[in-house]
Chains A and B, each alone.
Chain A
Amino acid sequence: MAKLVEIRWHGRAGQGAKTAALTLAEAAIESNKYAQAFPEYGPERMGAPMQAFNRISDEGITVHSNVQNPSIVLILDQSLIVAKNVSVTGGVPEDGTYIVNTHLPASVMRKKLGVGANAKVYTVDATQISIDALGKNIPNTPMIGALIKTTGLLDWDLVIQETRNKLGKKFNKSIVDKNVLAMQKAYEEVRS
């Protein structure tokens, strides 16, 4: 792993991007790495486009500015790619990684994103996975599964354990199990 990895999450308020970023940071810290997770708070309304960020590093992190050049971008809602006032590719290096929640193949997404051959584009139908497992569209935990599978950023078993811990504080066991199941399914199904 590179010394510092910066991640940007694009979602709509209510889809759980903030919780996903926090869960990822907790899992990273549990793996003895340093990490930050912070959302960008705008209008706090269901559906409004929002962003959340992660920094994960082997060394202590002191920087407190926004992430400007993320090497990994997670898009929880395909419609954000074309949404007004949202730039999912902004600041991302040419060889950046994109993980998109969509039922469409990566080749189509690559065109939609307008990124070059150096960019790594992965897709996973996190919405369908979430609806199958939870009965609603909360694609955040499946996206963590896709992220770990494609980047190997953190130890998979540990991420599952941390997700259980984090969600267990808020939800009952049945919901936690369903989330973990969704995450595992996305881990299996993510495609380039």
Chain B
Amino acid sequence: MIPDKNKGWKDVPKAGRILDPGSAIEYETGGWRTYKPVHTKENCINCLFCWIYCPDCAIEVKDGKMVGIDYAHCKGCGICVKECPTKPEKRALVMVKEDEETGKE
């Protein structure tokens, strides 16, 4: 749990300790992006390279298949797109401007 910034010194854990494990999930880094990766399901070969390489665990996988991107935590680094082995004419992952709705330029 991210501590409440209104709390005074008497009410926070000592020495800055973070007592809840995995609390980074509550810290949304999705706002850091200029570009975002967009997934096209039809083109995806489900090799899961993106899942392996993503430094923020933002690739969502279900039943061994790539199903989408966790935009709340994706920082838009583009590593997934760089590593995606799909052919240029049938890309499964492309980077698009953050404010654009689709992957089609």
Check A-B contact in the complex, CB < 8 A: no
* B residues neighboring A (CB under 8 Å): none
